[in-house]
Structure 1
Amino acid sequence: MTRAETKERNRRALLDAAFHVVSRDGYRARLEEIAERAGLTTGAVYSLFGSKSGLVAALVTDYLRPHYEEIEQAIPAEMDLLEAVDAFARHYRRSCDAPDALSGLSLQFTLLDMALHDPELGSRLAASVRTQESRLIALFTGRSHNGNVVTSHQARRLATALRALFVGLSQGVMLGLAHGADERYFADTACALASDAALIDHDAGAPELRGSE
């Protein structure tokens, strides 16, 4: 095994171990236990991630990346904005029934608790989320909507609103608080939100939807 392969193997082992320990213990998670579970030393954590905060931030990126890759695959480039939002919403709803959905929900709550206890970590976690969310913004930018084209500024506002909507709805589904919230409900609610001109245009400093060329 090459040095690079060994490094990636150790990185993967630490991320997998961190997922289990952090999901269970939150901000009380101990690096010693994470390293021991991975079959490594705490020195490997510092060498690969710099700190406990660095490891947790990398864990968030590692957890989110495949989800955004799946979203990109679920939304073809030829769709207009509302078709893309509809497909995104249905994909998000299906993810609530995935085998790892509950463990993912547990991790969400745990990371929020950690961010509240450690503002510096909170900033790093937010940066990790924004990095992945930029892929969603790019996915919406340039799509047609009512004869116009969505700008990156408008796509960013929409992505923020959809994230808040879907996180809340998915938590409700998994906790049994959103009865009847099936794929159609997710899609109809998201498209109603995306269709609202006030959501897309309401910003004194924001550019208006540019006309299609």
Structure 2
Amino acid sequence: MTRAETKERNRRSLLDAAFQVVSRDGYRATLDEIADQAGLTTGAIYSLFGSKGGLVAALVTDHLRPHYEEIEQAIPAEMGLLEAVEAFARYYRRSCDAPAATSALSLQITLLDMALHDPELGAQLAASVRTQESHLIALFTGRSHNGKAVTSHQAQRLVTALRAVFVGLTQGVVLGLAPGADEQYFVDTACALASNAALVDQDADAAV
């Protein structure tokens, strides 16, 4: 095994261990336990990720990247804005029924708790999420809506609103608190947001 292969294997082992330990212990998770779970030393964590915050931020990226890649595949470039939003909504709703939906929600809640207890870590987590969301903003930018192309600023406003709604609805579905939130409900809610003139059609940059 080459040095690069060993490094990647150790990185993968630490991310998998962090997922297990962080999901269970939240902000109380220690580097010692994560390293022990991975069969490595804390030195490996500092070498590969720089700090506990760096490891947790990498965990968020590792967790989110596959989802954003699947979303990009589910929304072809030729779709208009509302078609794209509908496809996005359907993807999000179907993810609620995935086998890993409960563990994903558990990790999400745990990470929020960690961010509240550690502002520096919270800033790193926010930066990691924003990096992933930039792919969504690019995905919606330029799509046709009401005869115009959606600007980057408009796409950013829309992504912020859609993510907030979908995260809340997903939590409700997984916890059994939103029994009527089926796939069409997700679609209708998302398209209502995307059709709102104040949200999409007005570009704040023009008012500055």
Q: Distance in 2 between matches of 1:207 and 1:24?
A: 47
Separation in 1 of the partners of 2:120 and 2:202? 32
Structure 1 runs (4+) deviating above 2 angstroms are: 205-208
Match of 2:205, SS state, is coil
Equivalent runs, 1:19-34 vs 2, <5 Å: 19-34=19-34
1:64-213 equivalence runs, <5 A: 64-202=64-202, 205-207=204-206
Residue 8 of structure 1: aligned partner: 8
Distance 1:198 1:153 in 2: 13
Offset of residue 30 of structure 1: 1.0
User: For residues 109 and 127 of structure 1, what CA distance do their matches in structure 2 show?
Assistant: 17
Corresponding residue number in structure 1 for 2:47: 47
Q: What is the identity percentage for the equivalent residue pairs of Structure 1 and Structure 2?
A: 83
Unaligned runs of 5+ in 2: none
Aligned residues between the structures = 207
Q: CA RMSD in A?
A: 1.0
User: What's 1:61 paired with?
Assistant: 61
Deviations 1:116-153 (A, max 9, x none): 00000000000000000000000000000011110000
- Shift of the alpha carbon at 1:207? 3.4
Q: CA deviation at 1:206?
A: 2.4
- Whichever residue aligns with residue 91 of structure 1, its letter is Y
Note the residue ranges of structure 1 that are not aligned, 5 or more in a row: 209-213
- CA displacement at 1:202 relative to structure 2: 4.7
What is the identity, as a one-letter code, of the residue corresponding to 1:28? R
- Name the CA distance, whole Å, in 1 between partners of 2:171 and 2:91: 15
Segment drifting more, 162-171 vs 194-203: 194-203
Cα distance in 2, alignment partners of residues 169 and 65 from structure 1: 21
- Counterpart of 1:207 in 2: which secondary structure? helix
- What TM-score comes out, normalization by structure 2 length? 0.97
